[in-house]
Amino acid sequence: MMAQYHALKAQASDCLLFYRMGDFFELFFDDARTAAQVLDIALTSRGDGVPMCGVPAHSAEGYLARLIKAGCRVAIAEQTETPEQAKKRGGSKALVARDIVRFVTAGTLTEEALLEPRRANVLAAVCEVRGTIGLAAVDISTGRMELEECGPDRIGAALARLGASELVCPEGWDEAPLDAIGRPTRDFSSDSGEVRLRGVHGVATLDGFGQFSRAMLGAAGGLIAYLDHVGRGNLPLLLPPVVRDGAAHLAMDEATRASLEVLESSSGGRRGSLIDAVDRCVTGAGARQLAEDLSAPLTDIAAIEARLALVQWLHDDPLLRDDLRAVLRALPDVGRALGRVVAGRGSPRDLGQLRDGLSEARRLRDHLLRRADRPALLDELLPLLGGHGALVDLYARALVPAPPTERSQGGFIAEGYDHALDALRATAGNARRAIAALEAKYRDETGVAALKIRHNGVLGYFIEVPAKHADRLMAPDSGFTHRQTMAGAVRFNALALHEEASRIGEAGGHSLAAEEAHFEELVAAAVSQAEAIARTAAALARVDVAAGQAERAAESGWCRPELLEDPCLEITGGRHPVVEAALGAKGERFVANDCRLSQADRLWLVGGPNMGGKSTFLRQNALIVLLAQAGGFVPAEAAKLGLVDRLFSRVGASDNLARGRSTFMVEMVETAAILSQAGERSFVILDEVGRGTSTYDGLALAWAVAEAVHSNNRSRCLFATHYHELARLADTCEALSLHHVRAREWKGDLVLLHEVAEGPADRSYGLAVAKLAGVPAPVVARAKTVLEKLEKGRAETGGLAAGLGDLPLFAAALDAAEEKVDRLREKLEGLDIDSLSPREALDLLYELKRDAAT
């Protein structure tokens, strides 16, 4: 057995090997140590000292989920023959044949228990062909596949958008991400990719699907080859690939997505993220579609307006919206059920979900068709909700109302669908009644009231009596044959019982075989219509997103944004959706603020104290842009915005030690990306640029960055800073205006008003914020003393601004510092050191020290 195990382990490579032994999956050696630690189960050993542990096969999915979440990959080695078949093949000592039937990895899950209902599970492949990056991505739980081509500088943003659970790339590729899985380079050949795609979809040419570059085809080839490997030749559902046009979507890099917490909060979970505050979808498919919308907002006004019109229609009719959401809430996840069926992992329950989902979709379509003044997008979706009448009718006749999740025990084909099957079931039922009659007869004949006819998987049917009554059945002429003696009981067989058991077994076997054959027929019927069913699932998801967006807008008084081509951003009463929701949960009110940017006033310099709301103000305007271009209403009284092609956020600070980058280095890398990529149609938010280095360096960098964004990039930008000196930029940058978040000190305490007002901030209120934060009073008092001294030095000598005289702002301060130096130089040059007495020399030193201190 261990020789067989080692042979399979060699095929499993770096995966944990689940080795099937009867009712358990066993793990050995290092696999056992790893699994025992992750799963918190007992680590035992064989008689020869080999470490081992195991999990029950019937509950393996739960253990697999924990292993995958911990970053493990698992190879499933199943028994490919029964013990009886093994004996016929090689005698009584023959080893049952086993083979790896599947690899379970993070990106190739289809099981309902292993997937998050409201989150897509994406597998991606990436490769480079002649300096161009090809990207292929698929969610095999629904079959949606897309291909994209981008430059090396854009691949990080593309992967951040996808949030892939697993990434595959060619072995030895220098640019491979750290967590990528290396695969043979030959798999990523563009020629191989074209052949694989044609084979998957059974076409002679790919022209009907679109135009694919060599890089796209190479990535697709690597992706399909990997799926073929992990599925051991059984490919999952793969819909025709869609070419993603980067220009059709608002671009956001990885840093921006993390900063804005679009799908995941800074703490790493969904709670506290934008989607958590926005999502009102009632289906998992709708939530996944919303996540995709927020990850890739549109840049085409017509497409955005089509989504907005549907949201508006549902927003204005709350009764229709409630009815629609009630129907959607009861729908099964049609897309994922289809994915399991096509992948060969489907169950009778999945077929029942297809039946129920497609039936309700058709009913929903008929209901909506009766409504007048439908928006254009809905008219495009409604035809996709029908067209499955024959399949629904077939499944309605063939399946019981609530099919089981397991098909091995049968019982899922409805009575009346197959008369031969009904007859087999009747035979089995009659035989069981005959068994009960036999039990009563044997009790009467033997006089043993405790006699029972039992059944188990090893012996089949048998007669069991307490040991004290066994002698009555042991007599040669009793008609009973001894089979087994147990502690306290003895088991027997009888000719009549054997005959009835044979009838039951034969009828049951034929019945199961008939149901299995019907199951395969029903699966084939779904597979033949897979693309059409997938389109129905996608249409249901889109309707759910629109209804959820309408519900969210109605909850909090959100408005429909107005989209323009002009580069403007006019928001009245804007709010941050996540912060507003958090405050609302505590019974507190969010302070709304306006924002008005145009070509003539495109850069706002925003000052004010920490905790005053600068970062919130910056982020809320970026999120309003994102929500609007995703096709939803926005948290504002009114919003008019010109289309944004790229969104940049440099807010917050963190290091990346794995890549050898300090907090300040990360800040500068993100700032460099903005300065090199942002354009006139971009929207940029920058918070505290330069704070991670010395005051001189930080102020100089903030000054230069603000100038560059204003004059070179010419982007719409909100720039928050504590450097008061930057206010002088308004003298030379005609499209820059000064603003601040308001705060007041009242009886020694700081009152933060969270209001954005025009004009520069008078000061930073840093000491007041420190007091609010609980910094000890002596420390705050000492800081106040130091601050007064610094401010006095700045007023008299130029202080912190010395050395920056090339900038107009610092010229006067530098002149004052130079005058002081000149005075000291004159005093020293006029001294006759040799004529000074020791006392005079000491007094002179004290005098010079006083001058330097003041």
Query: Are 574 and 550 found together in one domain?
Result: no
Of 423 and 553, more confident:
553
* Count of domains forming the chain: 6
The pLDDT tens digits of the residues spanning 603-662 come to 999 988 777 788 999 999 999 999 999 999 999 999 999 999 999 998 865 554 445 566
Domain stop point among 104, 138, 170:
104
- Helix or strand or coil: residue 641? strand
Within a 10 A sphere around the Cβ of 100, how many other Cβ atoms? 19
Per DSSP, 634 falls in state B
Residue 793: band (very low, low, confident or very high) from pLDDT cuts 50, 70, 90 = low
- For residue 492, what are the β-bridge partners? 463, 482
> String of b and e for 783-807 (b: at least 16 CB within 10 Å)?
eeeeeeeeeeeeeebbbbbbebbeb
Same domain assignment for residues 131 and 28: no
- List the structure tokens of 649: 């956020």
pLDDT for the residue 796: 58
493 located within any domain: yes
Q: What angle do CA 325, 331, 332 make, to 5 degrees?
A: 145
End-of-domain residue from the set 480, 509, 538: 509
Look at the block and give the residue holding tokens 């697993």: 166
pLDDT at 807 over 50: no
- Summarize the confidence of residues 576-599 as an average pLDDT: 94
- pLDDT-wise least confident of 48-62, 419-433, 820-834: 820-834
Percent of the chain with pLDDT over 70: 93
Query: Domain containing 370 — which CATH number?
Result: 1.10.1420.10
Which position has the higher pLDDT, 113 or 526? Answer: 526
Distance CA 502, CA 500 (A): 5
74 in Cβ contact with 34 (< 8 Å): no
| Position 851 confidence tier, pLDDT thresholds 50, 70, 90 | confident
Query: Biggest alpha carbon distance in the chain?
Result: 144
pLDDT at 43 over 80: yes
**d(C-alpha 687, C-alpha 722), whole Å:** 9
Q: Quote the CA–CA distance of 354 and 391 in Å, as a whole number.
A: 9
Q: What is the mean pLDDT of residues 207-219?
A: 92
Looking at the fold, whether 87 and 143 belong to one and the same domain comes out as no
> 25: domain CATH number?
3.40.1170.10
CB of 256 closer than 8 Å to CB of 625: no
pLDDT computed for residue 233 by the predictor: 87
| Poorest-pLDDT segment among 103-107, 181-185, 491-495, 819-823 | 819-823
Indicate whether 763 pLDDT > 70.
Answer: no
Q: Which residue, 104, 125, 160, sits at the end of a domain?
A: 104
Read off the pLDDT band of 113 (50, 70, 90): confident
Alpha carbon 11 to chain centroid distance?
30
Sign of the dihedral through C-alpha 85, 90, 93, 99: negative
Mean pLDDT of all residues in the chain? 88
For 268, the 3-state DSSP assignment is coil
Beta carbons within 8 Å of 460's beta carbon, 6+ residues apart: 501, 505
Domain assignment present for residue 818? The answer is yes
The rounded percent of the chain whose pLDDT value lies above 90 is 60
Domain co-membership, 711 together with 615 = yes
Does the pLDDT at position 854 exceed 70? Answer: no
Which among 311, 249, 267, 342 has a CA at the least distance from the CA of 549? 311
409-436 average pLDDT score: 87
Shared domain for 452 and 595, answered yes or no, is no
User: In this structure, are 95 and 126 located in the same domain?
Assistant: no
Instruction: Establish if 398 belongs to a structural domain.
Output: no
| pLDDT recorded at residue 236 | 92
- Edge-first strand order for the sheet with 603-607 is 251-252, 646-650, 683-687, 716-720, 603-607, 736-746, 749-758
3-class DSSP state for residue 484?
strand
Confidence of residue 803 (pLDDT cuts 50, 70, 90): very low
Q: What pLDDT score does 458 carry?
A: 73
pLDDT at residue 428 tops 80: no
Nearest-10 crossing angle of helices 334-342, 530-556: 150
Q: Is 672 exposed, middle or buried (0-12, 13-18, 19+ CB in 10 A)?
A: exposed
593-597 and 74-79: which strand pairing? unpaired
Both 619 and 470 in one domain: the answer is no
Q: What is the pLDDT of residue 22?
A: 86
CA distance 537 to 484: 57
Residues facing residue 506 across a β-bridge: none
Provide mean pLDDT across the span 723-742: 90
Angstrom distances, CA of residue 584 to CA of 513, 556, 750, 803: 59, 10, 23, 49
**Rounded Cα–Cα distance for residues 232 and 224 (Å):** 12
* Contacts with 839 (C-beta within 8 Å, 6 or more apart), sequence order: none
Residues 605 and 738 in one domain: yes
Q: Based on the domain organization, do 465 and 542 belong to the same domain?
A: no
Tell whether 459 is covered by a domain.
yes
Tokens describing residue 263: 């799908």
Task: Give the residue, 215 or 504, on which the prediction is more confident.
Answer: 215
Does the pLDDT at position 813 exceed 50?
A: no
Query: Do residues 608 and 756 both lie within one domain?
Result: yes
Structural domain includes residue 268: no
Q: Are 502 and 521 in contact (CB under 8 A)?
A: no
Q: Which of 148-162, 352-366, 426-440, 454-468 has the highest mean pLDDT?
A: 352-366
What's the pLDDT tens digit per position in 320-342?
A: 999 999 999 999 999 999 999 99
Evaluate whether 602 touches 735 at the Cβ level (below 8 Å): yes
For residues 793 and 331, which has the higher predicted lDDT (pLDDT)?
331
Domain contains 704: yes
In a shared domain, residues 428 and 463: yes
Helix or strand holding residue 21 (H, E): strand 16-21
Q: What is the pLDDT of residue 808?
A: 42
- Domain membership of residue 669 (yes or no) is yes
Taking residues 424-439, what's their average pLDDT? 82
* Residue numbers of the domain that contains 440: 419-509
Q: Do 30 and 175 lie in a common domain?
A: no
Residue 270 counted as domain residue = no
Per-residue pLDDT, 35: 95
Predicted local distance difference test score (pLDDT) of residue 154: 83
